[in-house]
Structure 1
Amino acid sequence: MKNGKIPFNRIGIRLGTASEDFYLREISNGIQNFYPLKSRQEQYNSLLAGIIDATFLDVGVAEYMTNNIYCNLTLVGSDIDKSAFGIVTPKQWLYAHDLDVNILSLREAGALDELKRKWFQSRTCSLSSEISTTIEVEALGGLFLSFAVITTLSLLLFLWKNDP
């Protein structure tokens, strides 16, 4: 996004959210050049209608929605932040320490991973897609060019070193 592969006006951001703050701070240098959205439903509708090409969502919600409801949408970049879930409590809550200890115990026992798989990574959508996800040759042109240059240089270096 930051390098301009997706036009900024094709990136949908929900107003008044942490996603908006992140976008303004890390991607656009404070310039509000995105497509403004008012609700999570508007995010999905805008993606499906082709109004926007990308949007920011919480990983857990996005996994569930793309796996079970919006089967023709896909999630990319889900491994950016593995600690995407949190529990909010009042400051200096009486049971905060107990909750921390119990959550840590559940994590160590693998119960949190199992709950995540059951509720967020379950899939009712088919894995096959009508939309092709193949990469065009033009998109890989730079990779092929780099490979050809490195191979040629390696071959020339080999011949030069082994020349009697």
Structure 2
Amino acid sequence: MIRVSTPSWSTRSLKPTSTTVKTGTSLGYGRKRDRLEDKVRTLEHADGITFKGFLEAYDDVLAQMQTAEIFASPSTREGFGITYAEAMAANCTVIGADHPESPASEVIGNAGFVVESITDALRQTHEGDTPTDDPVKHARQHDWDTITDQAATYQWASEHHW
């Protein structure tokens, strides 16, 4: 399954004859959702793609990630990038948009793919490309305990003029 976090990506990149995406679920809303839904209807495997919209329960979002193989987020306005870390922790292959306002490259690193073309990355991942680093192991550096330990270390260092 492919989970797409937000349908705000360019629908021009989806080819009507594409067979890359055979099943998938789109979560969330985006500016171009209507165009994306129209484009998906032209795909050979359109019946395998579901638009769920916004999920209220956090556990429902995590359940979607835990059953997914690929998490693709074409969003160029993703605050911290927590969705990338959550998807990596769920052992998804993560694909993020390469954009100056996106934290994708910082959060994903080599544990996923940061690309200009989400469609090409989906195709490559579907064909077997995998990230260099283990996504679950990489996600641990964004774990709350790890972050608070680092913050405590920085605080101690600043107080002791280290």
Normalising by the smaller structure, the TM-score range is 0.3 to 0.5
- Alignment TM-score, normalising by the size of structure 1: 0.36
Per residue, is there more strand in 1 or in 2? 2
- Alignment TM-score, normalising by the size of structure 2: 0.36
The structure with the larger Rg is 1
Per residue, is there more helix in 1 or in 2? 1
